[in-house]
Each structure stands twice: as structure tokens, then as C-alpha cells.
Copies of this chain bind each other. A is one copy, B any other.
């Protein structure tokens, strides 16, 4: 495979006709070949028309076909080999082990959803058999299943060029649900996007699926993405990115003649709570682990630990000292794009220059494309007084808020917007204090973790990568893990329908072997 700068529309690959852009080598700032001409509105029209045409066929493919398709995508991505890794490294500045790990994660995610499709409980098949002799009125035969919502628009994320881009979590869960997908590639990694897009396109053909199941559009600006969300054939949106970008898409979706759901994963500063017992016994060790988590991937994780809450004392001093020592040694790292790097520098400068903020440590200055780590402190009153201190600094910088006691810590937490994660560092003697704060934490975040950091997001059945607004646009869901498939399904009920007209999922013989509930009780199989 080679990167050709082509838009993928169904089974075709064609040069776009709009303003061209190039990827930028993250480390050097130099443009990378080839040109990517922007996709046109005619391309968008054709992609949506094909997706719409494919929908009824694709959503009714049997579980084995759909699972096989997901597995084929995974295999095709791995088959690209080193070309994908090197292109992705160049476009993102992320190191080889990270890209290789993310590639494995992407393949694993596709396979997880293959398993979800085969297992079948996401269909939520329910049967309430007729009760013809019930008085005063007989009960009809009622059967429910979930079906795919329709074609889904997916926006590639800058910070996960594989796991949350063209064939990432949103695409995998939408395809698993039975939705065709039209991806708007992130302009920071168009070459990676094209390579992965071709892997998906090949899988569509190999599995004999209608070509409209997948298309891939390019645009350095916002015109195509906005038109995609507004297109009447698009039924839902998956997005990972900035708060400004996410809320703009939410507004477009809500303002359509037929509003649609947007699943946007936006901003989070992921509070870390250091409880006294933990600090007293292992403040320095936590500080070291924290510095490692903060600088992972140049701090460009949605779950990056950007806010530390702790009570002052020798434990916190040890934490700060260890963290500062580690961060001072931590080399500046190449950031994903010049825009992200600039925004990071600006947000760090704004906080560093804040009158109530003290600089604890800064990492070594780096190249013009790099971001350096930083650690600041302030106190609870100052944090509560200025919303600027709650804004995400997307990169390897965190703010420590010294809280005089547990109630100050609670006040800061209570003041926080919705978050993806909260990390609690605790010892046995902290349990009472933790128990006291848990109800508040549950209301603020999607995932609460103990004695660790949120930067590792396991792809699993029990994962929640979500959280109350503005961490996401819709806190009722997750964008990582098997539960993510529910975002793209809706229930339909069939009443008194002859068996021969029922979808296979609800026929008496259960030809798909799905788990089903009869009168609310799991069916014996």
C-alpha cells in the first residue's frame, strides 16, 4: 500500500477536488508528501448516498458476517506492516512502541466488538408471548430488538491516530451495531488515515458487503465535517476532540430539522486525590508515578492527570519533590501538531503567569515543535475563585491545589465540571474519608480509580470512558469498551407479527442463537 492522498468513497479511491493540504512531520514541522486534495461536497453527497443505500442490507447481516468483517479489518490493518507505523510516527511524533501498542489496541478493539456481535446481548431481544385468555383484555404477542440507528459520522481524533480515528472505537462500535460509517479524517494524520481507510475498504469488498458501509473524507478545514453532521442521512456522530469542536457539532446536530445524537468526548482535567494516609507512607513514590503518567505521550491524553488535590504536609512535600525531580529530567516531547503545541504553550503561560500560582518545576526547554512538562501549585480559594484554573492544558502540565482539609478538597471537587476520571491515592486509614467523597465523585466522573492514574484506558466490558458534560456531550454512555455499541442502537417492537415476517433475532426458533428474555427472564438455551 502507498499513501496517495485519495478520498475513499465506497469502493472507489479518487483525488479530491478542493484545496489540498499536507501532513506535517511532527518532529520537524516539515510537510510530508503527498498532497491531500480536500474532498468536495459532491464526494460527501456520494458517500452519504452510498451509506444510506448500504444501511438496510448491512444492518441485517448476520452476526457471523459482521463479526468476520470486524476481524478482517483488524487483520488488514496489521497486514499493512511497518509502513503504517512509520507514517504514523512521522505524522504524530509519537514513538514506535506507542504506535505499535496502539495498533495492537485498535486490532484488539475490533476483535472485542466481533465478540460482542457474536454474543448478541446488545440486540436486547425480548419476547413477551401473547396471553389470549388474560382478562379484562388479552395480551398481544410483543417482541423487541434493537436495530442500528443509521449511517454514523465519525471524526478522527488527533491524539489517537489509530485507536480513535478511522477504524478506532467509534467506528468499530458503529460497524458492530450495524451502522455504515463515513469518517472525516483528522488532518494531522491523513496518511495514517488513508492507509487504515484502505484496510477497511478492502475488508468491505472481501466480506461481500455493500460498498457504502465505509467512506473516508479529507478536509483541512471544517466545511466537510459540518456538512456531514448536517446531512439528513447521518443518524449519529462520534467525535473525540476539543470542547469547542464538540460543542459546535452538538449545536449543528441539535439544530437539524431532525436532531441526532452526538457522542463527543471533549475536555477533562482528571482530578487526582492524594489522601493523607497514602501521602504519609508513599508520597515520593506517588510523585514519581504521577510524573510518568503526566508525561506519557507528551501529556496528550484525554485522561491526563491535570489536577492534584492534597492537604499540605510532609507527605505532599515528598510528592512534590519527587515529581519535580522527575519532571526536570523529563525531556521535552514532540507534540502532535503545531496548533496543539501552540495552544499548550499559551495555556501553560496563562497559568504560570497567574498571581496565585507558583511554579514547582519545569522540564527542559525543547525544540520549536515540542512541549515541556510543568507542575504548578495554588490553593483551594484561588482555584475556586478563577475558572481559568479549571481549563484543560492539553499537554504534560498539572496544577496542584493545596486543600487545608477534607472539606476544602470536597469544595474543590464540588466546583469541578464533569470529568472522565478521578484517581484516588489512599491507604487503609483513608477509607472513611474516601467513603465520604465517593457519592460526589460518582456524580462528577465516569471512572474512579484507586492507586493508579487514568492514562491507561483498558478496552473491556466494564470500562467507562465517558462522564458528565463537558467531559462528554452525553454522560449516559462510554466511547471505550463493549458498552459503547449501545450508542448506535434503538429499540423496535413487533406486535402480533407472523413468525415468517419477524426478523431472525425474534423468530420462535431463534436461528441466530441470541440470548433473549421471555417475559423479562433470560431464556434457557
Residues of A near any B CB (own CB < 8 A): 56, 60, 101, 115-116, 119, 124, 126-128, 136-137, 139-140, 142-144, 147, 149-150, 250, 254, 258-259, 261, 417-418, 431, 434-435, 438-439, 442-443, 445-452, 456, 458, 460-464, 466, 468-470, 473-478, 482-483, 489-498, 500-501, 517, 519-520, 522
Q: In the complex, which of the residues A254, A434, A442 has the most CB atoms of chain B within 10 Å of its own CB atom? A: A442
Q: Assuming A143-B462, A259-B469, A469-B259, is B448 touching A497 (CB within 8 A)? A: yes
Q: Assuming A143-B462, A259-B473, A476-B261, is B491 touching A448 (CB within 8 A)? A: no
**A450 B489 Cβ-Cβ under 8 A:** no
Closest 4 CB pairs of A and B: A449-B495, A464-B493, A142-B462, A144-B462
| Given A126-B462, A476-B491, A483-B491, 12 extra CB contacts under 8 A | A56-B443, A144-B462, A250-B259, A258-B470, A259-B469, A449-B497, A450-B496, A464-B491, A466-B490, A468-B490, A475-B490, A477-B491
Q: Which residue of chain B has the shortest Cβ distance to A254 in the bound complex?
A: B254
Q: Report the Cα distance A222→B166, complex, angstroms.
A: 46
A-B contact pairs, 25 of them (CB 8 A): A101-B136, A116-B520, A127-B462, A139-B458, A139-B460, A140-B452, A140-B458, A142-B460, A144-B463, A150-B443, A258-B417, A258-B470, A261-B476, A446-B491, A448-B494, A450-B501, A461-B519, A461-B520, A462-B493, A464-B491, A464-B493, A466-B490, A475-B490, A476-B489, A482-B520
**B469 A258 Cβ-Cβ under 8 A:** yes
Q: With both chains docked as a complex, state the minimum distance between the C-beta of A471 and any C-beta of chain B, in angstroms.
A: 11
Q: Assuming A119-B520, A442-B147, is B447 touching A128 (CB within 8 A)? A: no
Q: Report the Cα distance A147→B445, complex, angstroms.
A: 12
Q: Report the Cα distance A519→B462, complex, angstroms.
A: 8
Q: For A143, list chain B residues within 8 Å (CB).
A: 462
Q: For A450, list chain B residues within 8 Å (CB).
A: 494-498, 501
Q: With both chains docked as a complex, state the minimum distance between the C-beta of A308 and any C-beta of chain B, in angstroms.
A: 18
Q: In the complex, which of the residues A442, A458, A491 has the most CB atoms of chain B within 10 Å of its own CB atom? A: A491
Q: For A261, list chain B residues within 8 Å (CB).
A: 474, 476
Q: Assuming A468-B258, A469-B258, A520-B482, is B449 touching A496 (CB within 8 A)? A: yes
Q: With both chains docked as a complex, state the minimum distance between the C-beta of A483 and any C-beta of chain B, in angstroms.
A: 6
Q: With both chains docked as a complex, state the minimum distance between the C-beta of A523 and any C-beta of chain B, in angstroms.
A: 12
Residue of B128, B476, B483, B494 touching A461 (CB-CB under 8 A): B128
Residue of B124, B149, B446, B520 touching A493 (CB-CB under 8 A): B446
**A492 B115 Cβ-Cβ under 8 A:** no
**A431 B520 Cβ-Cβ under 8 A:** no
Q: For A60, list chain B residues within 8 Å (CB).
A: 439
Q: For A431, list chain B residues within 8 Å (CB).
A: 498, 500-501
Q: Assuming A469-B258, A483-B144, A501-B431, is B490 touching A460 (CB within 8 A)? A: no
